């Protein structure tokens, strides 16, 4: 029983360390212009691993939105979908664009989830 607990704790520690290293790499790659790396950095801040640290919902939501938006701006359709879904969390959002703008951008790039969500938004109006 103690050995199982030890293995579990060790696994969690190793997973957290690997995830942190991956975050640093994704942030560096994002800064270098990798849209997919920006998306993955946003995923980290949205993950349960990050929520285990001194978690602040507003700060985390802003970081998630920031990375997803950059991913979208760099042309990653999944980043556009993710950003549109968290659009209201971005405190620096462009007032000339709304969540539908980002859903459409992703849909135009072939992201089916955004196409479906855009249709649902249109039906509600």
Separation between Cα atoms, residue 89 and residue 100, nearest integer Å: 15
pLDDT at 31: 96
In the block, which residue shows the tokens 């990375």? 67
Separation between Cα atoms, residue 99 and residue 83, nearest integer Å: 8
pLDDT at 36: 93
Note whether 75 and 86 are within 8 A (CB): no
For residue 34, the SS3 value is coil
pLDDT at 67: 95
Domain ranges, residue 111? 2-124
Q: Which two tokens stand for residue 31?
A: 């800064």
Separation between Cα atoms, residue 65 and residue 70, nearest integer Å: 9
pLDDT at 66: 93
pLDDT at 30: 96
Note whether 53 and 93 are within 8 A (CB): no
Give the CATH number of the domain where residue 37 resides: 1.25.40.10
pLDDT at 114: 92
Low-confidence ranges of the chain (pLDDT < 70): 1-3, 8-21, 48-55, 124-125
């Amino acid at each position: 029983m103690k050995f199982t607990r030890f293995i579990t704790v060790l696994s969690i520690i190793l997973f957290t360390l690997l995830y942190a290293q991956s975050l640093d790499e994704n942030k560096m790659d994002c800064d270098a212009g990798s849209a997919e790396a920006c998306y993955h950095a946003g995923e980290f801040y949205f993950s349960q691993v990050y929520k285990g640290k001194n978690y602040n919902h507003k700060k985390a939501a802003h970081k998630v939105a920031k990375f997803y938006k950059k991913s979208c701006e760099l042309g990653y359709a999944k980043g556009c979908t993710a950003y549109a879904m968290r659009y209201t969390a971005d405190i620096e959002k462009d007032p000339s664009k709304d969540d539908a703008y980002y859903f459409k951008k992703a849909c135009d790039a072939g992201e089916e989830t955004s196409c479906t969500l855009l249709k649902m938004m249109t039906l509600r109006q």
